[in-house]
Structure 1
Amino acid sequence: MPKNLEEAIAEAGGPHTLLWESQSPPAVVPRVVPEFTNWRDEQLAWRRTAVLYDQSHHMADLNIKGPDALRLISDLAINSVARFPVDMAKQFVAVNHDGYVIGDNILFHLEEDEYQAVGIPPSINWMHYHAVTGDYDVEVWRDDNSLYRAGDPVVYRYQVQGPGAMEVIRAATGEEPPHLKFFHMTRFTIGGREVRALRHGMAGEPGFELWGPWEDNDAVHGALLAAGAEFGLTQVGGRAYHTNALESGWLPRPLPAIYTDERLAPYRRWLSENAYETTSPLGGSFFSDDIADYYLTPYDLDYGRLVAFDHDFIGREALERMVADGRSTAHKKVTLVWNGEDTAAAAGSKYLPGKGAKHFNEPMALYDTFHYDRVEVDGARIGVSTWTGYSANERSMLSLAVVDAASATPGTEVVVVWGEDTPSSKAQVEDHVQVRIRATVQPAPLAVEARTVYRAD
């Protein structure tokens, strides 16, 4: 039995086979009720009233404290940390030595020399590895998500979002909410407990992310629900939760670019045989034996605005070369709005004789953790479609895609190939046929507010 990722790759015969044939289920939101009402109404609520997202169970927390904490972050982040005061957060993004994305998280500056990274495992693992193996005077504690953790989380974490979010916060705190800039932090008293709060907006509307020690969870959660009752506050279940990224334009799960570089072999040996990067299934209509063909750059993901060459970090020289040779503008992240007739025909094929299209899970259509579908124009691949699901707000199947810049103009018609050419052995892949579904290119984020307003103030 392999003891780490490196050994698992060797046993499988390569990283692509390891992930393509993985028998693990796709990542989900654990320990959160799948639907509090129904996922359609829960989606509609984040545009119409206000919603409560429970983020306490599906992300990992890595707390980093010590005199070298900021140096560690600076050595790994494409972001500048020249201005990073206490009570501010950043979207931390890390790349490998060749400039390809490993992952991202939200990094909170909690106290002097104390930071907390919150996100899915790839970037958390990368930071954790360097913290414990590098020459850094730091202490770390980690709380994994509820799929891995025994017992309750260390902290609760909620978001109140939507047009009525400030009304809910006003009622819960008994005070006028402060006007904070995006990704700045404050403190509230809710349910008699001190609560830390980040000005955020996952649904493309003003709102706050709220957290504190788990022992305060029931008091704070109950107070939020009581305060939100008159404003139509709707709890969002695990099924609808992931679909908000389709409208806000954040691409959550790029394949971490860690599988091929010999310089990263020690890191692959550090990652266990049960690590997220070892077991997560890869799927979709895009197929390449070379796992590096799945890697994405920060420019592909619209993180070029975060890249700062004011400090040395892993991958800096590679990103500078991408800017110099034009690769930083070669691709663009977009939203694809799938053709309703084509999507309906594919989804309805299971009711007809013969093989049908790959089943669409709803509202998130994905059957894997890392998903890559071919995007074509006139039969030639011009990009990949990734995060895919149904939006009741748009009454459409949507996906977030990275396409050639020449095909990124809103209104451009493309084709998404859905299903595997030769179905893999993944447990969630049934015998099916590939289908081609027309789609229209639109901006990412698709929601106008998410694109223009909620980060601007």
Structure 2
Amino acid sequence: MTDSAPFRAFTSAAPMPYPPNIGLPEYTGWKDEQWAWKNTVYIGDWSFVPQIRITGPDALRLLSDLSINSFANFPIGKAKHCVQCDENGNVITEGILIRHGEEDFELECGVPQWTLFHLETGDYDAKASFPSTHKLQVSGPKALPLMEKLTGASLRDVKFMNSKYATIAGRGVMLLRQGMAGEIGFELHGPMEGHDEVYAAVVEAGQEFGIRRLGWRWIQLNHLESWYPTASVHYLSALAGGTNREYVEFMDKHLPDEWVGTVMEGPLRYDFGATFTGSWDGPDIEGLHRNPVELGWTKSINFDHDFIGRSALEALVAQPRRVGVTLEFNSDDLIAIYSSMFSDGPVYHLFEIPHPPFASNWADKILVDGREVGQSTHPGYSYTYRKALAISFIDVEYSEPGTEVKVLWGNPGEPQTEIRATVARKPYKQDERRKDLSLSGAS
């Protein structure tokens, strides 16, 4: 166990900022940008996400040994959401795994060095490299016609989590059909030197379709409404705390050459960030680790192979203790928090709109009759629904939609209050990612 106190943001550690290469906080205003996400199209830049490329005869065996996913059916050109855990079944890292060839795989995730560690310390005939590529997300109801205009090609045959190659601004790009915002979307991959040209071409062509640029001031709102929990924001990697000394010592000596002189040379060489704030005051940082069952990824767990954490996950799948839900905060209670700043009496921690401006984990206690039954994380305000929401993890017996709970609001040592909250649907927004693009009206 690792003492959680040194990881508390603002008092013991600096909160983790959003990477500067994500862009500006806002471009046309966060309300306008949120509107476009569901009504037209937006472009977001996720090129900061690190990646590892594994090639060789044992590349697939390595990934299978580390991942909860099945690889029984994984054709070239397809991608999957890949999840890797520790022996306790808690998530170390997750991200998108793309198969480029029979022995060629690319994993984009917060901690690709976990794969490197096992490659170099295990018996695998494979090699690793760390390319730097742009990853531009183009998503929304108008994403399909925009991308077809831009590429001059039909994309209606591209199924969810499949890819297609095209040319944009004279640059070759791989279009990976995704939809992290719960809408039809494509992620544009290519060498980093083409980043600016491809980005500019998308923005220019997108004017006809009402394109907006994604500012980081609301970057987590689409994850929140679409219920896609994110490491360092909604939970911490199981590597947080540095208890895996063998791994830490390995990374001290084996920083990839491609990362020298980058942000990955600092603390990020170990994991993607480990600071937190909120009313949760558990003594051990491990209390902020999460397993795939809690994170809503049970369907990805496949016991057709051996992998790290398998036995722990078999028990969790058979009898889960906590599951993920959306919490909907009581609006009157939030108004009272703002009112406290302009009246006599205690002043409560500010509920920042549209969401906290840091990429640090947020963890508040969820209470029922004064007893802790879960954690509410990184809250945000949805301009679409005019509600404050939070991805949350709660004991199974309180997970039914409509269940009323309370969230303890305010850091330890500060004035605290309770916010009434209701368990709501998950995802909160209807999922449109998997639409059949061949159908008329899909655009």
TM-score (norm 1): 0.85
Does residue 1:156 correspond to 2:156, yes or no?
no
Counterpart CA distance in 1 for 2:250 and 2:24 is 34
Q: Encode CA deviations 1:407-453: one digit per residue, 9 max, x unaligned.
A: 1222222211122122xxxxxxxxx41121111211221111x2xx4
Match of 1:434 in 2: 416
Match of 2:168 in 1: 190
Match of 2:262 in 1: none
Structure 1, unaligned runs of 5 or more: 1-8, 144-153, 423-431
Match of 1:19 in 2: 7
Q: In structure 2, what residue type is equivalent to 1:228?
A: G
What is the deviation of 1:51? 0.7
Counterpart CA distance in 1 for 2:434 and 2:208 is 28
SS of the equivalent of 2:379 reads: strand
Residue pair 1:161, 1:201 contacting (<8 A) in 2 also: yes
Match of 1:55 in 2: 46
Counterpart CA distance in 1 for 2:280 and 2:216 is 27
Assess, with a 3 A threshold, how the Cα gap between structure 1 residues 343 and 179 changes in structure 2: closer, same or farther: farther
SS of the equivalent of 2:378 reads: strand
Q: In structure 2, what residue type is equivalent to 1:266?
A: E
Does residue 1:454 correspond to 2:427, yes or no?
no
**Residue pairs, 1:139-218, within 5 angstroms:** 139-142=127-130, 154-218=132-196
Match of 2:267 in 1: 274
Match of 1:310 in 2: 304
- After TM superposition, the structure 1 stretch with the greater mean CA deviation from structure 2, 272-281 or 161-170, is 272-281
Does residue 1:322 correspond to 2:316, yes or no?
yes
Assess, with a 3 A threshold, how the Cα gap between structure 1 residues 120 and 27 changes in structure 2: closer, same or farther: farther
Residue pair 1:382, 1:403 contacting (<8 A) in 2 also: yes
Counterpart CA distance in 1 for 2:163 and 2:68 is 22
Match of 1:290 in 2: 284
Counterpart CA distance in 1 for 2:383 and 2:109 is 26
Match of 2:440 in 1: none
**Residue pairs, 1:40-119, within 5 angstroms:** 40-57=31-48, 59-119=49-109
Q: In structure 2, what residue type is equivalent to 1:383?
A: G
Assess, with a 3 A threshold, how the Cα gap between structure 1 residues 351 and 62 changes in structure 2: closer, same or farther: farther
Counterpart CA distance in 2 for 1:87 and 1:71 is 18
Q: CA RMSD in A?
A: 2.2
- After TM superposition, the structure 1 stretch with the greater mean CA deviation from structure 2, 269-278 or 162-171, is 269-278
Match of 1:150 in 2: none
- Percentage identity across paired residues of the two chains: 37
What is the deviation of 1:292? 2.9
Q: In structure 2, what residue type is equivalent to 1:445?
A: P
What is the deviation of 1:119? 2.4
Assess, with a 3 A threshold, how the Cα gap between structure 1 residues 380 and 366 changes in structure 2: closer, same or farther: farther
Aligned counterpart in structure 1 of residue 410 of structure 2, from 411, 419, 429: 419
Counterpart CA distance in 2 for 1:322 and 1:213 is 41
Counterpart CA distance in 2 for 1:203 and 1:282 is 24
Assess, with a 3 A threshold, how the Cα gap between structure 1 residues 239 and 265 changes in structure 2: closer, same or farther: same
Residue pair 1:259, 1:268 contacting (<8 A) in 2 also: no
What is the deviation of 1:90? 1.0
- After TM superposition, the structure 1 stretch with the greater mean CA deviation from structure 2, 215-224 or 310-319, is 215-224
Q: In structure 2, what residue type is equivalent to 1:70?
A: L
What is the deviation of 1:244? 1.1
**Residue pairs, 1:248-267, within 5 angstroms:** 248-253=226-231, 254-258=235-239, 264-267=244-247
Residue pair 2:64, 2:307 contacting (<8 A) in 1 also: yes
TM-score (norm 2): 0.88
Residue pair 1:200, 1:206 contacting (<8 A) in 2 also: yes
Assess, with a 3 A threshold, how the Cα gap between structure 1 residues 50 and 63 changes in structure 2: closer, same or farther: same
SS of the equivalent of 1:373 reads: strand
Residue pair 1:89, 1:184 contacting (<8 A) in 2 also: yes
Match of 2:259 in 1: none
Assess, with a 3 A threshold, how the Cα gap between structure 1 residues 354 and 271 changes in structure 2: closer, same or farther: farther
- After TM superposition, the structure 1 stretch with the greater mean CA deviation from structure 2, 341-350 or 272-281, is 272-281
Residue pair 1:80, 1:307 contacting (<8 A) in 2 also: yes
Residue pair 2:379, 2:391 contacting (<8 A) in 1 also: yes
Match of 1:149 in 2: none
Task: Report the number of matched residues.
Answer: 416
Q: In structure 2, what residue type is equivalent to 1:231?
A: F
Counterpart CA distance in 2 for 1:78 and 1:297 is 11
Q: In structure 2, what residue type is equivalent to 1:317?
A: S
Match of 2:216 in 1: 238
What is the deviation of 1:261? 9.8
Match of 1:220 in 2: 198
Assess, with a 3 A threshold, how the Cα gap between structure 1 residues 352 and 181 changes in structure 2: closer, same or farther: same
Residue pair 2:334, 2:351 contacting (<8 A) in 1 also: no
Match of 1:429 in 2: none
SS of the equivalent of 1:44 reads: helix
Counterpart CA distance in 2 for 1:274 and 1:56 is 19
Assess, with a 3 A threshold, how the Cα gap between structure 1 residues 139 and 347 changes in structure 2: closer, same or farther: farther
